Structure 1
């Protein structure tokens, strides 16, 4: 079987798609022939020992004509598009239809109702002119979670298989170096998408309780379209600098150390595909506080790995205090989290599931 992945990738470690796609390909390549067409023309910082597959650029495939790619990927069995809103994908679709090559679209959250509200009119026009045709001509849509599928209102053929995470990052025995109870957010400072406005107002509404109980919120992440200034403004406006700490982004070993010293990871997103930060926290034995928009909250709650709050100031605030009052149970939630994540999010298992799903579609 020959699989060609098409994606716009860069070296931004906060770009979830750029993190997961190379791993999908790496682990699938142990099972079938796989290649990557990177439409960004950016040279990827992937260690040579991890590149066991061909990587093509736009120069290898002008105007989306995959028939010009080197053999055997000039005639793949199936093409996997990561994301939706790239005109190059639409041009590539034309060649695939002429060549009778099926393709799958993995929207990575971009078809959810909340995501469609972002740049709403631009997307409406784009959908009518181009992208509805691109979506509707696909063999199926691959959603990362059941919740993402429901929120996307897709009635056509689909299957569900998410992302993975390397289990080698798992750290279960956490040693606390603080008397404070730490909630931690690590991710882009995208105020609206990540629901940071709701989270900060929730902290303000219970600021006296947080001070009395020594609860702190630590936020780490890169700026996102100027939203860092807005986050800082809200922290200053609410006068919660003593209980909310905003820091620079962290990666690698530094990120692991931050998570290791956290009690609960928090993500109050309005919409996501499947948040890698949550999977990473679970693997390290960090229980999580999520909102429905993360598309993984139901799994977490049903497996006793964390809690779900509705996307409202009151409910998020109430959950923060509820979790603090359950802090004696954190150790058990931590154990549940690491066991669940190791069982369900290993890249090897994800690769087997996706390749099996693609083969079934081709029968």
Structure 2
């Protein structure tokens, strides 16, 4: 079976796989390749290139020919889809992304089945920021893209309900995120603190609306009225860092909230292992690889109920699932902070649950069964 996966910004030579979407595609592609699938990642760059990864998938990069490449598909990729793809399935990745729509038109023209993998749910909160632009784009482009797909790949089957409410009834395929065994440190290397000021961590892009970081800071202020702790926010700034720093200053807790630069030289799980509680307060969230990496690091977690990983946190008992509002987050954090004597036991339960249920090979095997039904 041949599967093509489209993500324009995927690194052409398989390096610099640092953000959540490229990690997800790398993991799924590697898992599919381990089951004998011929997987080709289609990306775009300054020049044409071909690269075979050490996990079995290949990367074909197509060169941009002009400055308007943000709004057009490279001619080489158009030709490739028209002439080289037979009996194949294309997975198009991204949400509210015009190139996804353009590629879907090529697939339709060449009768090539395609799946849309948005990586985020179409939760009402996603429309709240830049609402006029998003709703216009939704009705003109995004809805049609989804309705004409052969399937929509969601990270949590619960996210299909948001599509149904938007009158999109395309079949949904649940394909959660997973991990590679290479990313797992030995259990003997992990430790848990029983004394000292607890350290809370958010790890990911500093996007206040999406990740609920403004809510988290407000809730943390209220937690400090009961229990002393420190909050660390680490990741690339998506334009909200200064605003969040000002909010912490207004609440007179700036000395308790630290903003840390991203560290791409250290694995996420080893970074997270240096802290006590992993916090994810997202208003909307596809899955959260960082939360999965926290489970593998044996940490206890506080996660938003909208996140795809919430089910696994709840099922394993390694943390608390909360609503993305100040009161729920405050109560969840206080409960975790008062359970310090149980952190090791809870963390190990989460780690062992993730190891059993979220390996990419298992996820890819299940995804493959779904994909086979789409190619006649």
Compute the TM-score of the two structures, normalised by the length of structure 2: 0.86
- Distance (Å, rounded) in 1 between the aligned partners of 2:370 and 2:332: 38
**Structure 1: runs of 5 or more not aligned:** none
CA change 1:263–1:52 in 2 (3 A) is same
1:189 matched residue in structure 2: 206
> Does the 8 Å CA contact 2:202/2:234 hold for their aligned counterparts?
yes
Q: Map 1:30-109 onto structure 2 (within 5 A).
A: 30=34, 31-39=36-44, 49-50=54-55, 52-58=57-63, 62=73, 68-69=79-80, 73-109=84-120
- Distance (Å, rounded) in 1 between the aligned partners of 2:62 and 2:122: 26
Does 2:311 correspond to 1:311?
no
CA change 1:58–1:37 in 2 (3 A) is farther
- Give SS of 1:69's match: helix
- Distance (Å, rounded) in 2 between the aligned partners of 1:103 and 1:348: 22
- Distance (Å, rounded) in 2 between the aligned partners of 1:350 and 1:157: 18
- Give SS of 1:318's match: helix
Q: Map 1:150-165 onto structure 2 (within 5 A).
A: 150-153=161-164, 154-165=168-179
How much does 1:66 deviate?
A: 5.4
How much does 1:111 deviate?
A: 2.4
- Give SS of 2:266's match: helix
1:293 matched residue in structure 2: 306
CA change 1:14–1:308 in 2 (3 A) is same
1:8 matched residue in structure 2: 8
**Structure 2: runs of 5 or more not aligned:** 66-71
Report the more deviating stretch, 344-353 or 137-146. 344-353
CA change 1:54–1:206 in 2 (3 A) is closer
- Distance (Å, rounded) in 2 between the aligned partners of 1:41 and 1:149: 37
Which of 339, 356, 359 lines up with 2:372 in the alignment?
359
1:175 matched residue in structure 2: 191
How much does 1:110 deviate?
A: 5.0
CA change 1:189–1:59 in 2 (3 A) is closer
> Does the 8 Å CA contact 1:185/1:267 hold for their aligned counterparts?
yes
CA change 1:293–1:58 in 2 (3 A) is farther
> Does the 8 Å CA contact 2:33/2:56 hold for their aligned counterparts?
no
> Does the 8 Å CA contact 2:200/2:231 hold for their aligned counterparts?
yes
Deviations 1:184-207 (A, max 9, x none): 111111111111111111111232
Q: Map 1:104-115 onto structure 2 (within 5 A).
A: 104-109=115-120, 111-115=122-126
Deviations 1:305-346 (A, max 9, x none): 210122221221111111111111111211111111111221
2:273 matched residue in structure 1: 260
2:224 matched residue in structure 1: 207
Which of 253, 256, 281 lines up with 1:243 in the alignment?
256
- Distance (Å, rounded) in 1 between the aligned partners of 2:259 and 2:207: 13
Report the more deviating stretch, 338-347 or 20-29. 20-29
- Distance (Å, rounded) in 2 between the aligned partners of 1:99 and 1:47: 26
Report the more deviating stretch, 282-291 or 293-302. 293-302
- Distance (Å, rounded) in 1 between the aligned partners of 2:46 and 2:55: 19
> Does the 8 Å CA contact 2:207/2:240 hold for their aligned counterparts?
yes
> Does the 8 Å CA contact 1:67/1:75 hold for their aligned counterparts?
no
CA change 1:242–1:150 in 2 (3 A) is same
> Does the 8 Å CA contact 1:83/1:110 hold for their aligned counterparts?
no
Aligned pair count reads 358
Does 2:132 correspond to 1:127?
no
Report the more deviating stretch, 281-290 or 298-307. 298-307
CA change 1:62–1:145 in 2 (3 A) is closer
